[in-house]
Structure 1
Amino acid sequence: MSARKHHKKGKEHVAEHLYKGKLEVTRSGMGFVIVEGLERDILVKKENLGTGLNGDEVRVAVLHSSKNGRQEGVIKEVLHRKQTEFNGRLEVHAHYAFLVPSKDNIPVDIFIPLHLLHNAKHGDQAIVRIIEWSEKAKNPVGEVISILTNETANEIAMQGILVENGFPLTFPDEVMEEAARFPEGVASDEVKKRKDFRKTLTITIDPADAKDFDDAISFKTLRGGNYEIGVHIADVSHYIHADGDLDKEAYRRATSVYLPDRVLPMLPERLSNELCSLRPDEDKYAFSAVFQITKAGKIKDYWLGKTVIRSQRRYAYEEVQEIIEGASGDYEKEIHILNGIAQNLRAQRFKKGAINFSSTEVRFKLDEHAVPIGIIVKESKQAHQLIEEFMLLANRTVAEYVSNIKVKDKPVPFPYRVHDVPDEDKLKLFTTFATRFGVRFDLNSPESIAHSFNEMLAMVQGKPEQHVLESLGIRTMAKAVYTTENIGHYGLGFENYCHFTSPIRRYPDVLVHRILFECLESDIHPIKQLEQQCRHCSDQERRAMESERSANKYKQVEYMQSYVGEDFDAVISGVASFGFWAETVEQKCEGMVSIADLAEFDDFELLEHEYALVGRNTGLRFRMGDKVRVRVVSANLDKRQIDYTILELPVQRRRSPLDTATAQKNYQVKPPKSAKPKKNPTGKSVPQKRKKK
């Protein structure tokens, strides 16, 4: 977005080009403003950043263009801050105090008036919120909101990760006050406006430790043998009104963030865990998609609207899975019918072009101090698929319904969840690599590509190459985003798709509920800045994912600290010019084997098309998916980094000039004198540990 501002300078009128964009600041302090529609970013030197920080939405004025055509500018205004809270160490003096930030995402210290220290002392670790930063002030003014000095190292780290990614740790007072004003239960006058499902069998199925139950399933057998299945979603929009304090804070966060030891909710717990949560034996408001459906999964009719429900039973996924596998339990007949329909819906989806990537979830078993003492790998089973398929059905149906509605002969602005076709260059690189495993791809159309992916996934199921081909296949895919431009969802094979089913933890779902209700009531008021809101929600989703990755990495390092010096079977999970990453098979903990650590084998170069490091002299390969034996050298919590050293070379696949025996005979390093060499099945000694050169 650009504008031209005129101002007087003497007797001349000077035109100033103004643009709105996102500021990215490099480690060196140089800034770049990314402006939609401009081919090149606008360069902003350190002295012209003003109060702009990395990730902020800013207004920038162009000063001039350089010889290479890049425009150079100065920050005129910060429109929206990505991050307002920062962690660091306090310096308290006689009349003032400062927070010295622990990260380089803010280039100045934060000034703190003594009355805003809130009992914090000199040297304390704390989190400070910026409350003011005028254009003329060198330092922002802040207030201490949390003192971390007496917290454990992992507690400080988890809070720091959230703060670094721009997620506030607490809710403003006015938001908490608004949440506290809502009454318990349901009101009789509101119930009269809704369809009543309280006497229909309704259940929830969630993780065992969940507290925010935002979806429920109802079940009824109809005359003639068909079924009525309701997908009931917490009616968050009943409580959160557009432009209220709650709504503004929910939009600001846009998502709940799930870390290994906590959830940072999008909504205050008064709403997320109490009023909106579809807890058993409580009357609740819901927004529902109700289907008349055959046993084979054919939709005969559907209804969308607001309801009041009452869940009769809360299940954990494990309980439902046991019933599916033959155990006795409450409503077991209904669960078996629901599961059968879900599996039919799933089969139909893959037949129509959805891609069947399998998913595993790694969770940490934590002690009372949130220190990981075990790792649990959970696979998606039929109990998870039961809920997944009905949620997908509801999301698709809502999007399809709204897509057919017009306002003044134009589609209703709507936050679709879209997924583009794979990147062509990445796809060609991947398919060339896949041919080494006997996999052939038909690249003639998006449909044939999806079909080829499913054939590949079925063919490699249970084989050694399954992990690498799945991982690399996922990397070829575009990222799903929110947008008003409906291009469909390639991975799911849907022409129309949105997020309707999780409004407690995703703001786009709240928007979907509002727009859907207006469509049902034929009282539509299009949201003017909806595309901008979609981009914000997509950005926040990425920040939440980054927070989750960082927290999981921290827990991996924390876990592996107990295993320094021990050996593990691993699989090469990534390669780079400076080494390769290996993930332990059982613990799923990823660490780095440095290129310097491989120097005694050969001089290696990265071959991107092979996803491999290849020895220039020997042809020895370290390729994604190769099995290796590694030893934990170090686990550094500050860097969130695990370092491994290689113990056994990977089995060399065909076309490699060396076989395993030759490689281990000629290129192994000698174990330390104090260690007895282990024997592999061929009887040859393999190194256990070596000294760094």
Structure 2
Amino acid sequence: MGKKDKKVKKEKKGGKRMTKKQLVEKLTDLIQLNAPESVSLKRIYAELKLNTHPLKMLCLDILQDMLTDDFICEPEKGRYKLKNPDQIVTGTFQRKSNGKNSLLPEDGSTPIFVAERNSAHAMNNDKVRVALFARRKNREREGEVIEILERANDTFVGRLKVDRHYAFLLTESRTLANDIFIPKERLKGAKDGDKVVVRVAEWPDDAKNPIGQVIDVLGRAGDNTTEMHAILAEYGLPYSYPENVERAAEQIPAEISAEDLAEREDFRDVLTFTIDPKDAKDFDDALSIRRVGDGLWEVGVHIADVSHYVKEGSIIDKEAFKRATSVYLVDRTVPMLPERLCNFICSLRPDEEKLAYSVIFRIDDKGNVRDSHIAHTVIRSNRRFTYEEVQDILEARQGEYAAELMQLNTFAKILRERRMAAGAINFDRMEVRFEIDEATGRPLSVYFKVQKDAHKLIEEFMLLANRTVAERIGKVRGGAKPKVFPYRIHDLPDPEKLEDLKNFIVKFGYKLKTAGSKTDVSRSLNHLLDEIQGKKEENLIETVSLRAMQKARYSTFNIGHYGLAFDYYTHFTSPIRRYPDLMVHRLLTRYLAGGRSVQQQKYEDKCEHCSDMEQVAASAERASIKYKQVEFMSEHIGEVYDGTISGITEWGIYVEINENKCEGMVPMRDLGEDYYDFDEKNYCLIGRKRHKRFSLGDPVRIKVARANLEKKQLDFTIA
């Protein structure tokens, strides 16, 4: 065998396949271990055994990303070193109740382990400075907190345990290893067993427990209002309205002045109605329709003109921005605006004159939008419909305003069809709802809200209005720079997660295209979502598909909305319950009047705050649903149900009961006499001895074992 052959053989043998994630970790370690010296490309290839062309190319790509991210620098061609070899790192502290704390560095580099003894009593999400210890080979980076720069959250919610001489707060927080000690004189009248909000006042260096004081007594644990307020407090959300803001709202006159009327388009005599859930009080949007010629219709999307009443920088505006969104718990709404505004002055109630901000469309019989204009208007709603009433009229093809509703429904179906053809993704998620006992707040039954034509009718016209407003500001001619504007953006799916989804659904006999244009991928996704309809794995595959999607958010940097297949999209249609819509109304008015562009960074920061608050509100909403599910199932201990495995983790399996969608866990110890391995890629647990397999989507029969309201947790056993 010649020298050349030997070399070829060796090269083939080397170069073990490595994922991008693995290579990033190895590169990061190598560069950090050699800091502050630089490392040559040749040495990187040799030490990491990168002896195939694809691996070398992947390495160069990663190095380029690290240079762009300012993580490393290239002092001379082909040599790389850590940009900040300093041994002090700033970042966010992540506290764990098991003492395995970590620092997430600001520069996005690998997390740093911080043992409890080195944490300087930093709290979860505090901004801290950490000094790194000398790096030990094959060990994770470790350090100690040397300074707390900014406290993230010093309040905790829990149940009070009062003894003769002292009291403790027992929290369900997974971030505190120790209960909070409360001196008797700082109880604010709270009694044993009360749910309270406690602020950590101090945590002396030599003390095991933080010391706190009660700042609010929520009520008796187990009482419905107490528990709902506790959920809000847990997420840092308000559960009452500040009196001074309420008073400011009381000063706002509800009457419409002659000057207001003079400068608005008058729609009071045009047929107009609202369509909302049966328990809604804040009517954000209304639709008007009239024939304006042969084969031509005028459709108005009328939105409550909140910006007329809530002036920028006012006390009401500041409170609304802080909240950024209304929060919808199972049995109550925590509004963004004071009740006088959201349910009375701004709400488009029937038979009352209201100020609106409207997008008026002229649409032909084939559903083509001929033209549109945006105007401040005055309207008078003729009828307040619920979704159920409209659905009945559409199905029976008769009833009040049936002809107009059916015409709008025809247009909505055409708009939807075109959106889907353009590559929009069709996620029709089923929502869990509860029939609640008004007196006690206890759940009496569970039902599901399914999207029908009445919902879709409203949705399509809201999408059309939002898109039209975004295009009006964002689409500019002749290379001009568009003015700063808040968009609702949605990025392309995560490629790795799409691959995982593709590999996961193969087991059920489905295919997914993950390469090609974004329209190809979204069409393939839609085909999958159509195929699974009505099948037992429908909910499961929808959930895994949703996980592959990015989260939609607000930003002044427009990248389009992937899920809707729109190049320009914003939120304009719900200013009573979403702050971004209020920002959009104000900027739209400014720009349509020829005003100059606003400062981008200021509005990007506002968008970020609104996106964050939207996530917090969604978490609180999920927690309230979870609480009610556990409360509902607590009446059914010992009963047996059919379920579907909805989640797999290293500590057990999650099962969703088919008939009511309540989810609980079968802990690992209750899975039988075997040791199970967790296969993350294939979403399954496999028994070592008996090879029993629990996979995502498998049907199982379970027995309800325990319902822990405090932890919002259901425990099942396999029946």
Deviations 1:389-433 (A, max 9, x none): 111111111111221259995432222111111111111111112
Aligned equivalents of 1:376, 1:331: Cα separation in 2 = 29
1:412 corresponds in structure 2 to 483
Q: Which runs of 5+ in 2 are unaligned?
A: 1-68, 71-85
Aligned counterpart in structure 2 of residue 321 of structure 1, from 366, 391, 394? 391
Aligned counterpart in structure 2 of residue 593 of structure 1, from 666, 671, 676? 666
1:379 matches 2:450: yes
1:511 corresponds in structure 2 to 583
1:7 corresponds in structure 2 to none
Aligned counterpart in structure 1 of residue 417 of structure 2, from 325, 329, 347? 347
1:579 corresponds in structure 2 to 652
Aligned equivalents of 1:83, 1:517: Cα separation in 2 = 40
2:523 corresponds in structure 1 to 451
Aligned equivalents of 1:127, 1:406: Cα separation in 2 = 57
Pick closer, same or farther for the CA change 1:248–1:86 going to 2, 3 Å.
farther
Quick check: 522-531 or 291-300, which moved more?
A: 522-531
1:275 corresponds in structure 2 to 345
Pick closer, same or farther for the CA change 1:625–1:75 going to 2, 3 Å.
same
Quick check: 486-495 or 638-647, which moved more?
A: 638-647
What is the Cα deviation at residue 214 of structure 1? 0.8
1:502 corresponds in structure 2 to 574
Q: How does 1:244-323 map to 2 (within 5 A)?
A: 244-323=314-393
Q: How does 1:107-506 map to 2 (within 5 A)?
A: 117=188, 120-123=189-192, 125=194, 127-128=196-197, 144-149=215-220, 152-326=222-396, 328-367=398-437, 368-405=439-476, 410-445=481-516, 446-506=518-578
Pick closer, same or farther for the CA change 1:125–1:596 going to 2, 3 Å.
closer
The structure where helix makes up a greater share of residues is 2
State the SS of the aligned residue for 2:595.
coil
Q: CA RMSD in A?
A: 3.5
1:570 corresponds in structure 2 to 643
What is the Cα deviation at residue 546 of structure 1? 1.1
Quick check: 514-523 or 381-390, which moved more?
A: 514-523
Pick closer, same or farther for the CA change 1:167–1:438 going to 2, 3 Å.
same
Deviations 1:582-637 (A, max 9, x none): 1111111111122322224x543233333222334444332222222221112121
How many equivalent residue pairs? Answer: 623
Deviations 1:518-577 (A, max 9, x none): 111111341442222222211111111111111111111111111111111111111122
Aligned residues of 2:132 and 2:141 also touching (Cα < 8 A):
no
Aligned counterpart in structure 2 of residue 532 of structure 1, from 605, 612, 617? 605
Quick check: 349-358 or 439-448, which moved more?
A: 439-448
What is the Cα deviation at residue 177 of structure 1? 2.0
State the SS of the aligned residue for 1:605.
strand
Amino acid at match of 1:494: F
2:693 corresponds in structure 1 to 621
Aligned equivalents of 2:149, 2:233: Cα separation in 1 = 23
Aligned residues of 1:100 and 1:109 also touching (Cα < 8 A):
yes
State the SS of the aligned residue for 1:242.
coil
Deviations 1:311-362 (A, max 9, x none): 1110110000000101532111100000111011111110000111222111
State the SS of the aligned residue for 1:171.
coil
Amino acid at match of 1:517: T
Aligned equivalents of 1:133, 1:184: Cα separation in 2 = 48
Quick check: 580-589 or 172-181, which moved more?
A: 172-181
2:66 corresponds in structure 1 to none
What is the Cα deviation at residue 298 of structure 1? 1.4
Amino acid at match of 1:438: G
Amino acid at match of 1:645: T
Deviations 1:134-188 (A, max 9, x none): 999x989977555413x75333221111101010112223222221210113222
Aligned equivalents of 1:594, 1:568: Cα separation in 2 = 17
State the SS of the aligned residue for 2:366.
coil
Deviations 1:224-262 (A, max 9, x none): 221111111112222222222222211111111111111
Deviations 1:623-660 (A, max 9, x none): 2222222211121212211122223xxxxxxxxxxxxx
Aligned residues of 2:436 and 2:445 also touching (Cα < 8 A):
yes
Amino acid at match of 1:316: T
Pick closer, same or farther for the CA change 1:194–1:64 going to 2, 3 Å.
farther
Aligned counterpart in structure 1 of residue 617 of structure 2, from 541, 544, 567? 544
Aligned equivalents of 1:248, 1:289: Cα separation in 2 = 27
Aligned equivalents of 2:571, 2:377: Cα separation in 1 = 19
Aligned equivalents of 2:526, 2:162: Cα separation in 1 = 59
1:633 matches 2:705: yes
Amino acid at match of 1:255: T
What is the Cα deviation at residue 580 of structure 1? 1.5
Amino acid at match of 1:380: Q
State the SS of the aligned residue for 2:702.
strand
1:654 corresponds in structure 2 to none
Q: Which runs of 5+ in 1 are unaligned?
A: 3-15, 648-693
Q: How does 1:79-118 map to 2 (within 5 A)?
A: 86=157, 88-89=159-160, 100=169, 102-104=171-173, 117=188
Pick closer, same or farther for the CA change 1:129–1:569 going to 2, 3 Å.
closer
Aligned residues of 2:88 and 2:132 also touching (Cα < 8 A):
no
State the SS of the aligned residue for 1:222.
strand
Pick closer, same or farther for the CA change 1:248–1:109 going to 2, 3 Å.
farther
